[in-house]
């Protein structure tokens, strides 16, 4: 029976636990393992990882029951770290920003952004969602907050609308749902900057931004002036969508914003009567494109009528049908996105607090 003689001894043993969202030697990373004065081993997962937390808990308990190790007290917690970005200015209260983007409209980008934000929240993090599609905001309808209006503090600070456990903001809350936003590029970019910086966000581990489709002014403003931690590219298997996705990947590459990976939406259709799968938009396209750019294909989300019904009711699938195949896909995607950002990024140094002594 193994008995731990030091923190390093414990870390060496803990590294025997492997998981798709962990790297080799993960327990040796700074701040992940701590030992209290009373001898309790603390394991701090530095990204949203509720499923991983449960799996690790079971593994350690099983090692105890098999008498592989001497009994010890331990605690596993989730505390997402803020990661460094190319743009050095920060957004008040926000640790990390994830841009969900597509160079082409109609590929399910907003559906992906909303369900991803909800899934990250369910994975143990504090999450916000910013609808940056100035010309066609859809988030208010998708989360059932079409008539919501944000309160304003001190004539400046807009209060986010909280729905399904996440904090949201959208130009759709500020204009009539029947009114079109007719703005030139610079005006739209300025509006996005105001939405982001003049919203009084609570302390957030992740802010998911639902980007407008394309590679124009707003996308450049976001990537060059806002501290984006990573971008997620959404596409479909269709050749036309893949051609535009190439442009999106190339744009982020040019402005040094890390691309976390790709999501293939509408990968196949699931018949609501017989359950048969049919690749109506083609197959294998996103996988090939990901290979071209050295990116990971993180999820393939099927097309099903229930997804549309959930969104129309204002209760996205992750909330409406938590045990469904779609929800499980988004939950897995959430932890994959957050873990990949952490392992491929660099954690910001912890702030040092000073106490004045008279």
For residue 107, say whether it is annotated as part of any ligand binding site. yes
Q: First CA to last CA across the chain, in angstroms?
A: 52
For residue 109, say whether it is annotated as part of any ligand binding site. yes
Rounded Cα–Cα distance for residues 350 and 352 (Å)? 6
For residue 247, say whether it is annotated as part of any ligand binding site. no
Low-confidence ranges of the chain (pLDDT < 70): 103-104, 177-186, 215-218, 238-246, 267-289, 293, 351-358
Q: What is the pTM of this model?
A: 0.91
Q: SS3 for 13-79, per residue?
A: HHCCCCCCCCCCCHHHCCCCEEECCCCCEEEEECCCCHHHHHHHHHHHHHHHHCCCECCCCEEEEEC
Report pLDDT for 289. Answer: 67
Q: Which is nearest to 301 in space by CA: 261, 260, 267?
A: 267
What is the share, in percent, of the chain residues with pLDDT greater than 90?
Answer: 50
Report pLDDT for 101. Answer: 87
For residue 105, say whether it is annotated as part of any ligand binding site. yes
Report pLDDT for 337. Answer: 98
Tokens standing for 120? 């990250």
Report pLDDT for 297. Answer: 87
Report pLDDT for 159. Answer: 96
Report pLDDT for 158. Answer: 93
pLDDT in tens, 210-221: 988 776 666 777
Report pLDDT for 276. Answer: 67
């Amino acid at each position: 029976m193994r008995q731990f003689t030091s923190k390093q001894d414990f870390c060496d043993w803990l590294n025997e636990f492997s998981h798709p969202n962990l790297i080799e030697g993960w327990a040796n990373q700074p701040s992940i393992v701590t030992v209290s004065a009373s001898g309790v081993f603390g394991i701090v997962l530095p990204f949203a990882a509720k499923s991983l937390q449960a799996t690790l808990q079971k593994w350690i308990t099983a090692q105890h029951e098999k008498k592989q190790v001497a009994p010890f007290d331990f605690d596993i917690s989730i505390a997402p770290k803020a990661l460094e970005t190319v743009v050095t200015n920060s957004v008040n209260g926000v640790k990390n920003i994830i841009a969900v983007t597509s160079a082409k409209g109609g590929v399910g980008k907003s559906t992906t952004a909303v369900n991803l934000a909800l899934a990250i929240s369910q994975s143990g993090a504090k999450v916000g969602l910013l609808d940056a599609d100035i010309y066609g905001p859809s988030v208010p309808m998708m989360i059932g907050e079409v008539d919501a209006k944000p309160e304003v503090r001190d004539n400046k600070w807009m209060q986010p609308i909280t729905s399904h456990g996440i904090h949201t903001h959208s130009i759709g809350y500020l204009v009539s749902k029947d009114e079109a936003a007719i703005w030139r590029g610079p005006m739209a970019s300025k509006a996005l900057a105001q939405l982001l910086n003049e919203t009084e966000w609570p302390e957030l581990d992740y802010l998911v931004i639902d980007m407008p489709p394309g590679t124009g002014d707003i996308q450049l403003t976001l990537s060059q002036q806002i501290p984006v931690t990573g971008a997620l590219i959404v596409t479909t298997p269709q050749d036309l969508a893949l051609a535009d996705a190439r442009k999106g990947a190339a744009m982020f590459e040019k402005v040094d914003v890390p691309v976390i990976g790709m999501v293939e939406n509408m990968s196949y259709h699931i018949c609501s009567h017989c359950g048969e799968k049919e690749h109506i938009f083609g197959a294998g396209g996103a996988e090939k494109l990901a290979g071209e750019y050295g990116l990971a294909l993180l999820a393939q989300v099927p097309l099903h009528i229930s997804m549309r019904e959930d969104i129309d009711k204002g209760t996205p699938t992750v909330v409406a049908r938590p045990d469904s195949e779609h929800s499980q896909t988004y939950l897995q995607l959430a932890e994959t996105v957050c873990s990949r950002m952490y392992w491929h990024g660099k954690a910001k140094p912890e702030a040092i607090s000073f106490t004045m002594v008279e």
